Chains A and B, each alone.
Chain A
Amino acid sequence: MNRKGCDSGFFILLGAGDPKVQQIWQDAASGQFELVMSVISINEVLVILYRQGKLAEADGFRSLIYSSPWVHIVPVSISIAEKSAGYRHGLGLSTVDSIILATAVEENCGELLTTDRHLVAADSQGIVKVTLLA
């Protein structure tokens, strides 16, 4: 199945009602493609919800996202850690950015959906197509 890497900012924009992100979300839910998400993004989204004081919503999100068959959540494996080291060194990315990128590449994503403009470097280097959502 066609896969798209999905960075943490995607979920912030989904919460903001961004029409483009909502459409991507609906397309994924209908089975057109799978969204690949690093466990790091689970951490980031939960922290954002905690900081908003939305503990119940964070608990709900955690529970429901794990039940979504169109979302594939990927732990940081040895191969992702190794690949991310190369991206961190070669592209000057932060640790988290490099793990998000390595996760998308390791999981054979045709595209990485992000709000983080640092990751555009991966596109210009021909590593993976990067779509900036905001």
Chain B
Amino acid sequence: MATQEKVAVPKIFSVRIRKDGSIPVPKELLEAVQWQPDDEVLVFAEKGRLVVMTRQQLADLIAKLLQEALKDANVDELLKELERGREDEPERL
């Protein structure tokens, strides 16, 4: 049991959405992600869930996603494929 107690468990808070639509975020959570008052964060809905992250985090996430997707790809070939795909069919010109 002592071992289990040392394991960091993500804390989940139950909060109530305010009448104006805002959602109170516990200070403990803000500190955990090192966000400060007045920091700008992006809030958007994805697959029925609310996602909150900084612009930097979203930019990194998109770049990482593309890197994972193309890690085994031949980039030069992809760029050529892109150009080839843009060629109009002669009979349609």
Residue ranges of A at the interface with B (Cβ–Cβ < 8 Å): 8-9, 11-17, 22, 25-26, 28-31, 44, 47-49, 52, 54, 57-58, 60-61, 63-65, 67-70, 94-97, 115-116, 118, 134
Contacts and interface: CB of A to CB of B under 8 A. Distances in A.
Interface stretch (B12-20, B31-39, B54-62): B54-62
B79 A25 contact: no
A61 B52 CA distance: 17
B59 A57 contact: no
B63 A14 contact: yes
B66 A15 contact: yes
B6 interface: no
A22 B63 CA distance: 8
A30 B14 CA distance: 32
Contacts of B55: 29-31, 69-70
B56 A115 contact: no
Q: Identify the interface centre among A11, A16, A25, A61: most chain B CB within 10 Å of its CB.
A: A16
A97 B66 contact: no
Interface residue SS majority, chain B: helix
A67 B46 contact: yes
Contacts of B56: 26, 29-30
A63 B46 CA distance: 7
A27 B60 CA distance: 12
14 contacts: A15-B67, A15-B70, A15-B73, A15-B75, A44-B85, A54-B69, A57-B68, A57-B69, A64-B58, A64-B61, A67-B51, A67-B58, A68-B58, A94-B88
Interface of B: 42, 44, 46-47, 51, 55-56, 58-59, 61-63, 65-70, 72-73, 75, 78-79, 81-83, 85-88
Given A12-B82, A15-B67, A25-B62, 9 more contacts: A12-B79, A29-B56, A47-B85, A48-B81, A52-B70, A57-B69, A61-B62, A68-B58, A70-B55
Contacts of B65: 57, 60-61, 64
